[in-house]
Amino acid sequence: MKVSNRVKEIDSTSRRVLRALDTNPRATVGWVAQKLHLARGTVQSRISQLFEPGVLRGHSVTVPPEALGYGIRAICTAEVEQELFDDAVAALHDLPEVLECVATTGGTDLFMQLVARDADDLYVFNQTVLGCPGIRRTSTTIVLRELIPYRIHQLLAD
């Protein structure tokens, strides 16, 4: 199911719950219920339902990579031999520095967000990616500063 279809299926009560959790991700079910004037069971049920279709991500915490010693964030695109596409993705999946990898259209096949400890670590990482099955070419850009962090609150308005 496409993400855009999922958004249309979320009713106003679920949107209210999502807005509350987006504002305060550590909120308890009781706090959300009290803030929204809903029964605890209603809030718990809505949260459970939102995990089922994949609306809520399964992450329990978000830790900034810098806190773990990864001072460089980068964007890497890769061209892949199509017959080895699944092998390339499987190899990339095993690299802990890859935070996210998506298939794209256009001049490249993959778009990855990754981290490295320093410039030398980034160089070694790039060489590792080039050694993955099917990866023909990469292009890596270092992120200088996050200007608009990942957000969804603006999409949750009724």
Tokens representing 115 are 């981290």
Region 64-73: what's the mean pLDDT? 90
How many angstroms separate the CA atoms of 29 and 21, rounded? 10
pLDDT value at residue 5 = 43
- Residue 152 makes CB contacts below 8 A (sequence gap 6+) with 18, 22
CB 114 within 8 A of CB 98: yes
* CATH code of residue 89: 3.30.70.920
By mean pLDDT, which of 31-35, 50-54, 56-60, 95-99 is the weakest? 56-60
Q: Are residues 137 and 69 in the same domain?
A: yes
- Residue at 157 is within a domain: no
**8 vs 61, higher pLDDT:** 61
Whether residue 76 is found in the same domain as residue 25: no
Q: State the average pLDDT over residues 80-101.
A: 96
Does 69 share its domain with 46?
no
Same domain, 86 and 117: yes
In whole angstroms, what is the distance from residue 54 CA to residue 107 CA?
Answer: 29
Q: Is residue 110 part of a domain?
A: yes
Adjacent-strand bridge partners of 114: 74, 98
Q: How confident is the model at residue 121 (pLDDT cuts 50, 70, 90)?
A: very high
pLDDT band (50, 70, 90) for residue 6: very low
Q: Which domain holds residue 136?
A: 65-142
Average pLDDT over residues 139-150: 93
Q: Domains in the chain: how many in total?
A: 2
